[in-house]
Structure 1
Amino acid sequence: MERSNIIKAINSIALTVGLGAASGYVTVREIPTWYATLNKPSFNPPNYLFGPVWTILYILMGISVYLIWKLPPSPHRKKAINLYLLQFVLNLAWSIIFFNQHQIFLALIEIIVMWFGILLTIFAFSKFSKLAAWLLVPYISWVSFAIILNTAIWLLNR
């Protein structure tokens, strides 16, 4: 692997995991306080599961975007990376909306928009790399579950 690709790989994974960890840092203060007071459905995972799951998902996302970033520049590649960045910003924003602003319904609307952003990113990435697209499937699967969970929490707490 070329030195520039090694740097791109490290940056892709480190930035994705690092920003995801920062989002988790914002979230963690609300877990024992506000989040603990919410009514949650029986299928709500235990709190200790979220950190490891998101870490794995962020690593997969970082590898996925690296596989696209390392390719020769083109307008289509730029569009694919911009879609990735858009859905990632939405990912980070969800934590703020849900955990910091305590806006459960707004977070639900936002995560649905994020889901479509992930889907568009998968389609865009698949034109360049099937592996890059497939690496995002666990992510969209988890976000699909998160939509169901967010919906249930909203319904139980309105």
Structure 2
Amino acid sequence: MGRLSPVAVFFLNYVAFTAFSWIFPMDRKWLASLEKPSWSPPGMVVGMAWMVIFALISLAVALLWDKVGLRRIGLSWKAVFLASWFFNQLFYIGQSFSRNLFYSFLDTAAIAVTATLLVIVSWPYSRAAALLFAPYALWSTFATALAWTIYRLNR
């Protein structure tokens, strides 16, 4: 079996990050019923932002795959990446089943931490990949502040 092309890696990664959002869709009616701060973006903007961010993540992974390769990338990078992916998927499952806003805040905070760590652990391998992870870190940090505020408004 030959080495996967960076294009295939991009698409496989994108599917891996978005699959749970299709399997466990958000309850839009419940989300609309929550009190939100005035600075909360519309749901469609949030969804589009995550689609773009998942594409940037996928591009960063494809770049690292092409430049470094899976075997040569460090265990710390792999652990941070898998943790980030895991927390992203857990968010969809948690929203579908628990509707626990405090849990959502904690999970979003974990995503923000692992996204920020991805920027840091990617830098030695590829500055371009690290910069492609930066919007993920920034948006998930914003999402954490939003999740905390929504939790506080709806306690």
Determine the C-alpha separation between the residues in 1 that align with 2:134 and 2:40. Answer: 21
Instruction: Report the equivalent of 1:105.
Output: 102
Distance change (3 Å), C-alpha of 1:138 and 1:83: same
Length-normalised TM-score, structure 2: 0.86
Length-normalised TM-score, structure 1: 0.85
Q: Verify the 8 A CA contact 1:87 1:117 in the aligned structure 2.
A: yes
* Equivalent residue in structure 2 for 1:146, among 133, 143, 148: 143
Distance change (3 Å), C-alpha of 1:68 and 1:79: farther
The one-letter amino acid of 1:107's match is S
SS at match of 1:136: helix
Q: Verify the 8 A CA contact 2:36 2:153 in the aligned structure 1.
A: yes
Instruction: Report the equivalent of 1:27.
Output: 25
Instruction: Report the equivalent of 2:116.
Output: 119
In the TM superposition, what is the alpha-carbon distance from 1:69 to its structure 2 partner? 2.3
Q: Verify the 8 A CA contact 1:27 1:100 in the aligned structure 2.
A: no
Q: Verify the 8 A CA contact 1:65 1:81 in the aligned structure 2.
A: no
Consecutive unaligned residues of structure 2, counting only runs of 5 or more, are: none
Determine the C-alpha separation between the residues in 2 that align with 1:119 and 1:129. Answer: 15
Determine the C-alpha separation between the residues in 1 that align with 2:62 and 2:115. Answer: 16
| Cα deviation code 1:3-37 (max 9, x no counterpart) | 84xx3422332123223332332234x01x21121
Superposition RMSD in Å: 1.9
Consecutive unaligned residues of structure 1, counting only runs of 5 or more, are: none
Instruction: Report the equivalent of 2:85.
Output: 88
SS at match of 1:41: coil
Determine the C-alpha separation between the residues in 2 that align with 1:19 and 1:65. Answer: 12
In the TM superposition, what is the alpha-carbon distance from 1:116 to its structure 2 partner? 1.5
Seq. identity, %: 23
* Equivalent residue in structure 1 for 2:7, among 7, 10, 24: 10
Instruction: Report the equivalent of 1:45.
Output: 41
Q: Verify the 8 A CA contact 2:80 2:114 in the aligned structure 1.
A: yes
When the two structures are aligned, how many residues end up with a matched partner? Answer: 151
Determine the C-alpha separation between the residues in 1 that align with 2:80 and 2:38. Answer: 34
Instruction: Report the equivalent of 1:65.
Output: 61
Determine the C-alpha separation between the residues in 1 that align with 2:129 and 2:21. Answer: 24
Higher helix share: 1
Distance change (3 Å), C-alpha of 1:99 and 1:35: farther
